[in-house]
Amino acid sequence: MQKEKDKAKENFEEYRIDLRQKDAPKEFYNILGDIGQDLPKPIDDTGESFALLQKVLPKGVLELEFSDKDHIPIPEEIRDKFKMVNRPTPIIRARQLEAHFGNKVKIYMKMEGFTYVGSHKINSSIPQAYYAKADGAKFVTTETGAGQWGSAVALAASLFGLESKIFMVKVSYAGKPYRRYLMNMFGGEVHPSPSELTGFGRGILRKEPDSPGSLGMAITDAVEYAKEHGGKYVVGSVVNSDLMFKSIAGLEAKKQMESIGEDPDYVIGCVGGGSNYAGLAYPFLEEELKAGKIRRRYIAAGSAEIPKMTKGKYEYDYPDTGKVLPQLKMYTVGHDFVPPPIYAGGLRYHAVAPSLSLLMSKGIVEARDYDQNESFRYAKLYSKIEGYVPAPETSHSFPIIEEIAKKAGSKKPVVLMSFSGNGMLDLANYAEAFGFDAAQKGAGKQ
Amino acid sequence: MQKEKDKAKENFEEYRIDLRQKDAPKEFYNILGDIGQDLPKPIDDTGESFALLQKVLPKGVLELEFSDKDHIPIPEEIRDKFKMVNRPTPIIRARQLEAHFGNKVKIYMKMEGFTYVGSHKINSSIPQAYYAKADGAKFVTTETGAGQWGSAVALAASLFGLESKIFMVKVSYAGKPYRRYLMNMFGGEVHPSPSELTGFGRGILRKEPDSPGSLGMAITDAVEYAKEHGGKYVVGSVVNSDLMFKSIAGLEAKKQMESIGEDPDYVIGCVGGGSNYAGLAYPFLEEELKAGKIRRRYIAAGSAEIPKMTKGKYEYDYPDTGKVLPQLKMYTVGHDFVPPPIYAGGLRYHAVAPSLSLLMSKGIVEARDYDQNESFRYAKLYSKIEGYVPAPETSHSFPIIEEIAKKAGSKKPVVLMSFSGNGMLDLANYAEAFGFDAAQKGAGKQ
C-alpha cells in the first residue's frame, strides 16, 4: 500500500500517464465470456436478416459476434495498425478541472481524441477492415452521420490497402464538410445517402428527390451496396463484436492506472449506442463480474433529448430504422423515434447496446441524461482551463463528475472518464450554440 | 555501438518514441550564446522603435532577447504549462512513408501537431504569457493571420489567468472561422483588423471601410492597443527570444533520438519566419557550433511563392509592413512584398529570422523552395498512408525527403523532420486545392 501511495505521489507533478507501444494489450476483452449466458438472443423475425448479415459481414467479425471466450488474442496486424494511429492513448490527470470542483475528486481522462481520427471509433474500424481483407474483399462499405465513424472507416481501409465507400446522411454531407474532407484525405469515397448507387436509394430519390436522408437509410444503402458488389459491410456501434474491439481503450487504461497505483472508484462515459462507454468500462468490470461482487460505481451519460437510458423501455427493438437487421433486446425509445437536431450527433441513436442494456437492467451500470446546455457549459470550461476542446458527445459526461464532487467526503474519490473524442471539427457547432459570431459583432465584425 | 544498434532494433516494432513528462528538458537553448557575436545588430532608424518595444514587450522577454547565455533555465511554471498542453510531444517513425521512398531513408517526425493547439506555436506563447503575467499585466495582445499563433496565445493567456485580445486580419477573420472559434473556446477575444479599438485602425477604416487588413496592420493594432491600455504585446516569430522558447522541441527530440540510439544525418523543416525550423534544428547544431565543425546536413524548406530563402537578399529590412519595429538583417523579399494567396498561410512571411539568416549566409543551413502543388501531393499521400493530416506549412518539408531518398546510398540516412502542425482546421483549404467537392458531384451530390 505504501509503495502504491509513493508511486501515486511520484506522479503528482505530471499530467500525462503514458503507456509505451511495446506494453500495449495483446488481447481484447469479450464481456460475453462473463455475461453471455444471460444475454437475450437476437430475433430474426423477417427470416432474412441473419442470412443477409452472413453475406455482408466479414467472417471473422461474425464469428466473434457470438463468441463466449472472455479473452480474444489480437492479431498482430491489428496491433500494428493500432500503433500507427497513436495507440496506446495517454490518460490525462485533469488537475484544473479538479480545482474547479474544489479538489474533492481526482479526475483521470482516457484520451481517445488523441487517435489520428480524433475519436475512439478507430478502435473498431481497424479490426473490421482487417477481417474484411482476410475475406479477400476489395472494399468496405458503411454508413455515417456526422462523419466520426466514416472517417475512422476511411482511414482503417486505407491502412489495409482497401477502398471504402461511405454513405453519409445527405443533410450531414452538405452541412458537415470538414469530416467529409477528412474522409477524402484518407482516401475514402463519400456518397450522399439516399444514393444513386443503390436500387434502394434510387427508389427513395424517385419519390422524394430532396430527401435529407437518415442513418437508417444510409445503413440500407451501405448494406445493399456491399451485397450487390461483393464488398464487406462494417458496423460502428451496438453489436457485441464492436464493443469487444473497443475494449482496447479500457485494457490500456487498466494498465495505466495500475502503473500509478490508482484504482478508479467511478468509471464514467457517454453513450450513443454504448460502445464508447463499454470500451472503457468492461475491462474494469471483468474482475467484479467474475467475483460476483460489484465494488466500483459505473455511471453512463446520455442526451436528455434522446432519453433511451432513463426513459426508454428494456424490450426487443430493431437496431436500424429500415428494419433489415435482427431485433435485439435493448433500452430503446423506439427505432422510429425522431431525435431533435442536437449537436452531439453521436448521441442521437435510439437504443443502447444489448450487453450494456443488460448491465443497466441489473443495476450494475447507472444512467444519467443531461441536456445540451448543461453539457456544453463544461465543454467551454474544459477548453479554457484544460486547453483541450472536447467533442460535444464527450461533454455529456462532465455533469457526472459534478454529481460525484458534490457528494464527496474527506477521502477523494477517483474518477476515470472516457474522453471519447476531440471537438476540433465541431467548432462550428459550438460557435452556433454559444453565439460566438453574434457576441463579437459589437466588437467590430464586418 | 552494438548496444546502440540493439536499442534501435528493439524499437523497430514501434512507431512512437515517447518522452515522459518527468524527463522533460529544464533549460532552453539560446543560439546567441554560440553565434551572438556574429549576429548583425538591429537598427532603430526611427529613433522610436526600441522605446516602443521596451514599453509593450514583457520585461523578461526583452531581457532574453539580448542574452548571450547558451542555456537558460526554464521557470517551473512554464514547464508545468508545457505539460498541460501535451508536451513532450512524441517522435513518430514514419514507416509507411519510408516504404513509399523505397526504404532508402529512416524518417523520424517530431510531432508538434500533437500539442493541444495543434502546432508548435504554443511553445512560445506560454513563456511570453508567463513573463507578461510577471509584469503584472492583465491582458496580452497579438496579431494573427490564419489563426495558428492567435489560438496559441489565447490558450496560453487563459492558462495563466490573463485575458487576450487577438487582432485577426479581417479577411481571415471572415474566411477562417474555425480557428477564430477555437480562440473563443479558449477564452480569447478576437477582433478583426483594422480595428475600431485603435486610433490606427479607425484611421484606416475611415479611408477604406472595406480594407481586408494585413498582418502588418494587425501588428500595429496589437502594439497600439497594448501601449494605450497597459497590456503586453507578444510576438510569434522571427525574434531571438521566440526562437529560443521554441528550442523546447529540439531539446526533447535530442533526448528522444538518443533514447533509441539514433543520430539524425539530416535535420529538416519548413520556414515561415524561421522559428519552427530553428526550434528543432538549433539544439542539434549546438555541439557542432561549439566544436567549430558542422557534421550534419540542415535543410529548410519554404514556399516557392515567397522565395525569400532562395531568391531573397541578405540585407537590413523591417520585420513588419508598418515599419514600427527595428530593422533586422535578414534574407528578405522586401517588407512590402505582396505574397500570393497560398493556403500555407504560415509561410507567407517576407523574411527569415536573423539568426537563421546568418546560418544560411554561412552555408550551415541550406534552403529549398517548393510550390504548393508539389507540397500538397505529399499532404494527401501522408494522410492516406500514415493516417495523420499535416498542416499545409508542414507539407512543404516532404520534398526534401524525396531529394535525400533519391541520393541515398546503401547506408540509410536518418532524417529528422519538424512536423510543425496538423491540418485538421485546414481541411477546407485542401478540399479546395484538390477539388473534393467537384470530384464528388458525379457521385450524386445534391
Average pLDDT over residues A359-383: 97
Res. A436: pLDDT tops 90: yes
Report the number of secondary-structure helices (H) and strands (E) in chain A: 21, 15
Res. A321: pLDDT tops 90: no
In the listed set B198, B216, B240, which residue is the last one of a domain according to the structure? B240
- Specify whether A370 is located in the same domain as A318: yes
Query: Which H helix or E strand runs over A126?
Result: helix A122-134
Has residue B442 been placed in a domain? no
Q: Which residues numbered 175-214 in B keep a CB inside 8 Å of some CB on A? A: 177-178, 180-182, 184-187, 189-192, 195-197, 210
Helix (H, G, I), strand (E, B) or coil at B429: helix
Res. B1: pLDDT tops 50: no
Percent of chain B whose pLDDT exceeds 70: 95
The confidence score (pLDDT) of residue A324 equals 83
Residue A41 is part of a domain; what is its CATH number?
Answer: 3.40.50.1100
In the listed set A191, A217, A240, which residue is the last one of a domain according to the structure? A240
- Specify whether A168 is located in the same domain as A214: yes
Has residue A407 been placed in a domain? yes
Q: Regarding beta strands A71-73 and A27-29, do their DSSP bridges make them parallel or antiparallel, or are they unpaired? A: antiparallel
- Nearest by CB: A446 against B118, B192, B380: B192
pLDDT band at B4 (very low <50, low <70, confident <90, very high): low
CB contact under 8 A, A84 and B387: yes
**Alpha helices (H) along B230-307:** 240-245, 247-259, 275-291
In this structure, of A72-86, A246-260, B319-333, the range with the lowest mean pLDDT score is: B319-333
The confidence score (pLDDT) of residue B443 equals 47
Average pLDDT over residues B30-56: 93
In the listed set A240, A270, A297, which residue is the last one of a domain according to the structure? A240
Closest Cα of chain A to B385: distance in Å?
A: 6
- Specify whether B66 is located in the same domain as B211: yes
Q: In what order do the strands lie in the sheet with A139-144?
A: A189-193, A163-169, A139-144, A232-233
The confidence score (pLDDT) of residue B445 equals 39
- Specify whether B282 is located in the same domain as B374: yes
B259 touches A at CB < 8 Å:
no
- Specify whether B127 is located in the same domain as B169: yes
The confidence score (pLDDT) of residue B85 equals 98
pLDDT band at B439 (very low <50, low <70, confident <90, very high): low
The confidence score (pLDDT) of residue A216 equals 83
Rounded to whole angstroms, how far apart are CA atoms B116 and B156? Answer: 11
Rounded to whole angstroms, how far apart are CA atoms B358 and B335? Answer: 18
Has residue A441 been placed in a domain? no
Distance of CA A314 to the CA centre of its chain: 21
Residue with cell 547558451: B70
User: Which value, to the nearest 10 degrees, does the dihedral of the CA atoms of residues B182, B188, B191, B193 take?
Assistant: -80
Closest Cα of chain B to A379: distance in Å?
A: 8
The confidence score (pLDDT) of residue A441 equals 53
Query: Which H helix or E strand runs over B165?
Result: strand B163-169
- Specify whether A100 is located in the same domain as A223: no
- Specify whether A208 is located in the same domain as A134: yes
- Specify whether B151 is located in the same domain as B226: yes
A295 touches B at CB < 8 Å:
no
Has residue B133 been placed in a domain? yes
In this structure, of A112-121, A338-347, B52-61, B146-155, the range with the lowest mean pLDDT score is: A338-347
Give per-residue pLDDT as tens, B356-402: 999 999 999 999 999 999 999 999 999 999 999 999 999 999 999 99
Rounded to whole angstroms, how far apart are CA atoms B419 and B395? Answer: 8
pLDDT band at A12 (very low <50, low <70, confident <90, very high): very low
Average pLDDT over residues A49-66: 95
Cell of A388: 483541450
Res. A181: pLDDT tops 60: yes
pLDDT band at B441 (very low <50, low <70, confident <90, very high): low
Give per-residue pLDDT as tens, B397-425: 999 999 999 999 999 999 999 999 999 99
- Nearest by CB: B428 against A181, A187, A436: A181
Average pLDDT over residues A17-23: 95
- Specify whether B152 is located in the same domain as B285: no
The confidence score (pLDDT) of residue B438 equals 80
Structural domain range at position A269: 2-25+86-118+247-434
Cis, peptide link before residue A194, omega less than 30° from 0: yes
Rounded to whole angstroms, how far apart are CA atoms A243 and B434? Answer: 36
CB contact under 8 A, B197 and A14: no
Has residue A8 been placed in a domain? yes
Give per-residue pLDDT as tens, B203-249: 999 999 999 988 888 998 999 999 999 999 999 888 999 999 999 99
CB A38 within 8 Å of CB A68: no
- Specify whether B20 is located in the same domain as B108: yes
Has residue B346 been placed in a domain? yes
Helix (H, G, I), strand (E, B) or coil at B144: strand
Give per-residue pLDDT as tens, B126-156: 999 999 999 999 999 999 988 999 999 999 9
